[in-house]
Amino acid sequence: MFDYDTLGPDTLDNLANNLSLKMMRWIAVNHPDNRIRQFLLRKTNVTIGKDSVINYNVLILDCYKKFVTIGDRVAIASNVTIVAVSDPNNSILKDNPYVKKNLIEEGPVVIKDDAWIGTNVTILPNVVIGERSVVGAGSVVISDVPPDTICAGIPCEVIKKLNKY
């Protein structure tokens, strides 16, 4: 199902239009073809630039809002989680004033052109990852990553500035 070369964009579009947003996202997370993953992510309100690669098992939590923008030539490794909406779902914690004011968060995640996101990275809401930056494997990104840097850690911090070329 969803063979890009066999079906073509028009047929894929017709098939996808019969699926729920949740089902499109599930297929996008699990499908082996990057083109299908991007096609379905775009259909569920993720903006993706040209020549980017979004690997298998990239999870985007955004309630299908237009919160996630991925630039051109971005490389996102497997098992990355992008969290643009963070809340305790159906828990009564949503009604707790402290939780509501301090812990529930939603906002854009922007990954700019030519960035490289390593495996098992978690990116939290209201973050911009700068152009030509590298985020090391296993990092938790809680604030903006400057352009032309290598960042890693929990929380993610600048390790090295890259020379422009």
Helix residue spans in 18-110 (DSSP H): 21-30, 34-43, 97-102
Higher pLDDT, 146 or 8: 146
pTM: 0.92
Domains of the chain in sequence order: 1-44 (no CATH), 49-156 (2.160.10.10)
Q: How many CB atoms lie within 10 A of CB 117?
A: 27
Of 116, 106, 146, give the one whose Cα is nearest residue 130. Answer: 146
Tell me the pLDDT tens digit for each residue of 55-114.
999 999 999 999 999 999 999 999 999 999 998 888 999 899 999 899 989 999 999 999
Of 63, 58, 95, 91, give the one whose Cα is nearest residue 77. Answer: 58
Q: How many CB atoms lie within 10 A of CB 29?
A: 16
Per-residue confidence (pLDDT) for residue 151, from 0 to 100? 99
Biggest CA–CA distance in the chain, Å, is 53
Per-residue confidence (pLDDT) for residue 1, from 0 to 100? 60
Per-residue confidence (pLDDT) for residue 89, from 0 to 100? 82
CA 26, distance to chain mean position in Å, is 14
Tokens of 59: 């999870």
Tokens of 105: 């968060």
**Beta-carbon contacts of residue 101 (< 8 Å; ≥ 6 apart):** none
